Amino acid sequence: MANTFVICASASSYRRVIDACKDFDALGIRFVLPKTAEKMRSAGDANIEAVTDWSAAPDGYHGKSLLIREHFKEIEKGDALLVMNYEKHGIDNYIGPNVLMEMSTAFYLGKPIYVLNGKPDGSPLIDEILALEPVFLNGDVSQLTE
């Protein structure tokens, strides 16, 4: 099984992702968080806002571009991808465009892709998500330690 999982998730789910990392630590699962989520975790500050209005940010969309590029490099270094998908926009197990880009990067690099929860039924991206052939864990993270 993979040694280091690079975690991907919608920024609005980072608090849940950080909470879940306690379970990963207890299971001995090594992981890399997105930079903003790691900053929140390291600071122990759940009040750091993970969702940014990039059009109003000091660096504008260039700031988001840098974060995307940095996370792609983490995916390249990691052994596998773990998508942590929760409800968003009324879609259970939501996987959005940015996470799909990260999944596509892992797919291109030949990395295994695991999805924490089930399929995002009703997503307009479902065909592309399924074409990347991820393993859906349906909440069972013990599969990551097998």
Which domains does the chain carry?
4-145 (3.40.50)
Of 22, 15, 29, 26, residue with least CA distance to 114: 29
The mean pLDDT value of the chain amounts to: 90
How much is the pTM? 0.91
| pLDDT of res. 51 | 62
What residue type is assigned to position 75 of the chain?
I
Q: Is 4 exposed, middle or buried (0-12, 13-18, 19+ CB in 10 A)?
A: middle
**Residue 48, pLDDT above cutoff 80:** no
What tokens appear for 103 in the block?
A: 């999944």
pLDDT of the residue at 41: 86
pLDDT at 138: 96
Out of 1-15, 26-40, 123-137, the most confident range is 123-137
